[in-house]
Amino acid sequence: MQTWIFQGNPEYFDIDGYFATDPGRFVWLVTRYADEMRSGDRVFIYRTGQTAGVVAEAEIIGAPAPQPEDPEAVRFWRGDRTGAMEVRPRVPLSLLRVAGNREVLRRDWLREDPLLQDLPNLKMAAGTNYPIEAGHAARLMALWDRTGRDWTRNESVAGLWAYTQTYGQQVSRLPGSPVAEIALALGRAVSGVYNKVMNFRAIDPRDQRAGMSGGGETDRRVWAEFYDEEAGDLRHAELEREFNRLWRVGGEAASSPSDADQDAAVLAQAKRLVAEGLGALMAKYARLREARPARPSTKSVSIRSYERGALVVAIAKLRADNRCEIPNCKHPMFVDVDGIPFTEVHHIEPLSEGGEDVLENVACLCPAHHREVHVGRRAPELTTALRAIRNAILVQPDAELAG
């Protein structure tokens, strides 16, 4: 699949106004490479001018063909509209997403990016359609996915690491600098990581230089996690270990998936473990907790994921007798191919936010409640209920666990 940048000039066409109508399907003028465009190709719409940047994502849904502008789009043409009615090669597109104010990938960010500063539209601004290389496409997609989203705890850890690497120095944004390195790892703009470093400077009581006061609660929690008040210094070794666990993994890093996307191999192994019984698994779990860290290591795949223990999954299911642990759950349950009620194991504090892969941090949920606790309006309420359940039965007698 090819990725393209389609460029539009707001002096001639009101791109923002047109996309605000949510056109769904629309056409775009093709001046070059028409014979290389295929259905399924991804397109980033780049707005030129004073507020230049990537403003939308679309997908090619047909072959380019000679045709006039869409009638609904003609009124958004500025000045002479005769060009809109000309029959010229245009490609049909499906609009996938329009950037909000915080989500536009600004031209200045692209120009300073270690991987994107040589994008063809930045060097040859007069054209309309540009194919981009796979490396450019991957970096653009990472930025498109993360820009405008609040920083997670794990991202803030990486920002704090970058701060420690530049402490007491002038903070560089150049390729190869800690700021640029973290930007590539997180899928964030270089300027965004620079600002995060300045946020930590404002939090740091040791540094009297001016920082940026825009740091949020997540940054303050991360600072408190690694700052030793008595010593008046960061716990550098602890921070380095956590940073290495999260981000020093070969391959590309991207946003953390929800732990609801359960790993099939882990579930298959958990199914085999269940046959051993809860007592045997608890003994195995006690031995395992002495041998490995509670926070799982990461492994490099196309996106950043977290290794999860099949033993924890198996015990969680047996502990709940394969029932949803949300009080008074009334969602209908179905059985899997083995005739067992199907449940999913949820991490109350997500692994992607530093949560531990331990029994005290998991709950057995029906699929409906598992989705709701991740994306539902009642998610905070359900999370509070699950924490209360775990706190209430944190310690049980060995005999009771053994059944």
pLDDT tens sequence across 210-223: 888 878 899 999 99
DSSP result, 246-293: HH--SS---PPPPTTS--HHHHHHHHHHHTT-HHHHHHHHHHHHHHS-
Cα four-point dihedral sign 48, 52, 54, 58: negative
What's the pLDDT tens digit per position in 288-321?
A: 666 455 555 454 444 454 545 678 888 999 999 9
208 pLDDT exceeds 50? yes
Question: What average pLDDT is seen over the chain?
Answer: 84
Q: Which residues contact 162 (CB under 8 A, 6 or more apart)?
A: 178, 179, 181, 182, 193, 196, 197
pLDDT confidence of residue 401: 42
3-133: what fold? ph1033 like fold (3.10.590)
Indicate if the pLDDT at residue 252 is higher than 70: no
Per-residue model confidence as pLDDT tens digits over 73-126? 999 998 888 878 889 999 999 888 899 889 999 999 999 999 999 998 888 766
| In the predicted structure, residue 395 carries a pLDDT above the cut 50 | no
59 exposure class (CB count in 10 Å sphere: 0-12, 13-18, 19+): middle
* Confidence category of residue 397, pLDDT binned at 50, 70, 90: very low
* Domain ranges in the chain with CATH number 3.10.590.10: 3-133
Q: What is the mean pLDDT of residues 58-76?
A: 92
Which has more pLDDT, 59 or 272? 59
Task: Name, in order, each residue with C-beta under 8 angstroms of 375's C-beta and a sequence gap of 6 or more.
Answer: none
Q: 394 pLDDT band (50/70/90 cuts)?
A: low
Q: How many residues does the chain have?
A: 403
Under DSSP, the state recorded for 353 is G
Give backbone dihedrals phi and psi of 229, rounded to 5 degrees, phi first.
Answer: -60, -40
Q: How confident is the model over 133-145, as a mean pLDDT?
A: 91
